[in-house]
Amino acid sequence: MSKKVFKNADEAIFDVKDGVSIMFGGFGLCGIPEHLIAALRKKGTKSLTCMSNNAGVNDFGLGIIMVNHQIKKMIASYVGENEIFEKQFLSGELEVELVPQGTFAERIRAGGAGIPAFYTPTGVGTLVAQGKETKEFEGRSYLLEKALKADFSFVKAWKGDPYGNLIYRKTTRNFNPMMATAGKITIAEVEELVALGELDPDQVHTPGVFVQRIFKGTKFEKRIENKTMQGMN
């Protein structure tokens, strides 16, 4: 049990080497494992295949390792807030696989559940369908989509305990729970690391069996991508 608890993100990623695949939890900038991303930048690990709902922004999230040319391939749903991503993609430096968001979520869930592939109607007749098997069910066409798994999953939770049981808050329950199941090694950063027995079992979203390493973060920025203000008359 005690072997799961690490001092910080730098220690937790000791064996993350060049060329590995990593899933990053979060939706936009909400619930991202920001300490783990910062540790990756510091470590300088390169040629990474990154799977995330988004590509961060220029100076936060995955943007800080992208600007450092550490990402080789990006599998994502939404990348529109990152100018560095755009430049690297258009120059041919960055390989990109864009996946419809629902399909992306299900591919990750399938990977964690041991399901190798599934059929979905999303993307039929579009560029998404190129090179994929199509099959008809009850008069409707479906694409065969393969599951996603990774060498590592980096997730962010609100609370955790030394066993690795995790509780997420609100919107952070986006891609974090499913990604926690789909990595060979799941590393969790938490805002609060509590003693065993303090978490209500009925409130646990990710059981500790899926988490290999955990540490308590210090300062969390909790930024947003865009802020829109509306004045009052």
Dump pLDDT digits (tens) for 73-92.
999 998 877 889 989 999 99
The predicted pLDDT at position 69 comes to: 95
Residue spans per domain, the chain:
19-98+149-216
**DSSP line for 19-34:** T-EEEE--BTTBT--H
The predicted pLDDT at position 224 comes to: 66
The predicted pLDDT at position 205 comes to: 97
| Residue 110 in tokens | 């399938």
* Residue segments in the chain with a per-residue pLDDT below the cut of 50: none
> What fold is seen in the domain 19-98+149-216?
Glutaconate Coenzyme A-transferase (3.40.1080)
Dump pLDDT digits (tens) for 16-58.
999 999 999 998 888 999 999 999 999 999 999 999 998 888 8
Question: CA 1, CA 162: separation in Å to the nearest integer?
Answer: 6
**DSSP line for 182-213:** HEEEEEEEEEEE--TT-S-GGG-SB-GGG-SE
Q: Is 203 left (phi over 0), alpha (psi -120 to 50) or beta?
A: alpha
The answer to whether 95 touches 71, Cβ cutoff 8 Å, is no
Where b means 16+ CB within 10 Å and e means fewer, 83-92 reads ebbeebbeee
